[in-house]
Amino acid sequence: MCADFANIKTEIQNMEAAQVDILHMDIMDGSFVPNLALGLADYQTVRRLTSLPMDVHLMVQNPHNFIQLFNRAGADIIYIHPEADQIPTRTLLEIKKLGMQPGIALNPGTSVETIRELLSLVDYVLVMTVNPGFAGQKFLDFVIPKIEQLVVQKKDNSFKLMVDGAISPTKITQLAEMGVDGFIVGTSALFGKKKVYQEIVKELKGE
């Protein structure tokens, strides 16, 4: 969402050269979140241009209805918001059955207690550290205790813990030390900077 879509092929080539691990794409329906941004055609375009792993963050109502579409579009990982799905267990199991990796995304106001039973079903948990829908927001520090809870939950489950929203280099250092596995970076750390992606990503990875 933060990339320059007018030059998306070059953007992808530069991210590949920088050795980013995963390309993250937000799909928004204007209902579950107030913004309407990116869609299936955008996803298909990016998929044709890269062999990097790609996830899809479904910020949509009834995400179960979109699983087959994004499977055919080549998604490797699919995140759903459990509160947007009447039967999230069914959706997560279908994602895995189709050969993709299931993940759940937690809004700032969604507690760990409400999704505890789902943790054994997923490969990824994505904690939103801003309210979903728009780039350029401030990091919500009250989410940190939830991240700490999920770090503990990783001991009994096999998911990777990711964070998304206002992820600056400082936050990456802080949260990595806590036990976070991966970071979705946008305008706070990667895009719109004067440095080239290769230099930025190397610094973010501590290389």
Could you tell me which of 89, 87, 86, 105 has the C-alpha nearest to residue 97?
89
Sorted by sequence, the CB contacts under 8 Å of residue 179 that are 6+ apart come out as: 151, 154, 161
Whether the Cβ atoms of residue 126 and residue 110 lie closer than 8 Å to each other: no
Structural domain that includes position 33: 5-204
Residues with catalytic annotation? Answer: 26, 164
CATH number of domain containing 181: 3.20.20.70
Percent of the chain with pLDDT over 90: 91
Sorted by sequence, the CB contacts under 8 Å of residue 98 that are 6+ apart come out as: 67, 68, 71
* pLDDT bucket at 75, cuts 50 / 70 / 90: very high
Given this model, what pLDDT does residue 129 score? 95
Give the Cβ contact number of residue 205 at 10 Å: 14
| Structure confidence by residue, pLDDT tens digits, 122-132 | 999 999 999 88
